[in-house]
Amino acid sequence: MLDEEMANAINIQLNAELYSGYLYLSMAAYFESTDLSGFANWMRVQAQEELSHAMKFYDYLVQRGARVTLTEIEAPPTEWDSTIAVFEHVYEHEQMVTGLINKLVDLAISISDHATNNFLQWYVAEQVEEEESASGVLQKVKLAGEDSSGLLMLDQELGTRVFHPPAQE
């Protein structure tokens, strides 16, 4: 049985992961509207990843006999000033999520919940990848700058991204 405070904190994080998915889907819609379908594809895949992060929390709560409680998801922004602004937002958002995951780990450690701490380490590693991929695309977008052929090449590259569901334990 999971500690009640821990279960509540995981339910809040489940909502945050769904919000992340919502945010990236909104960014996908923004890119569809600017005819950058490769960027839109990258964001769609990112949204799928976030849903899989949420489901991993969902499954853990069920596994530990805790109740999954779904709450209202905040509406994401719908407009950004530029492609660079979108990826600055993604990078900042992922750094914020890393902070949330670290807080969950702090809580698990403070109540000696080693099982949850162990479970959360998957997210700790995942956030390293998330920050790396967000800052990687941000750097490339900055390099392309105002050069439309550079941006179109990047659009082609991001169009090849496919979703890989996380391995089942």
Whole-angstrom distance, CA of residue 82 vs CA of residue 68: 37
- Minimum CB separation from Fe ion for residue 150, in Å? 26
For residue 53, state whether it binds Fe ion (rule: CB under 5 A).
Answer: yes
Q: Site map for Fe ion, 113-132, x if CB under 5 A?
A: -----------------x--
Nearer to Fe ion, 48 or 150 (CB): 48
Tokens of 110: 């403070």
Are 88 and 138 spatial neighbours (Cβ–Cβ below 8 Å)?
yes
Q: How far is the CB of 50 from Fe ion (least distance, A)?
A: 5
Q: Is the dihedral of CA 146, 148, 152, 157 positive or negative?
A: negative
* Residue nearest Fe ion by beta-carbon distance: 53
Q: Quick one: DSSP state of residue 81?
A: S
The footprint of Fe ion (CB under 5 A) covers: 17, 50, 53, 130
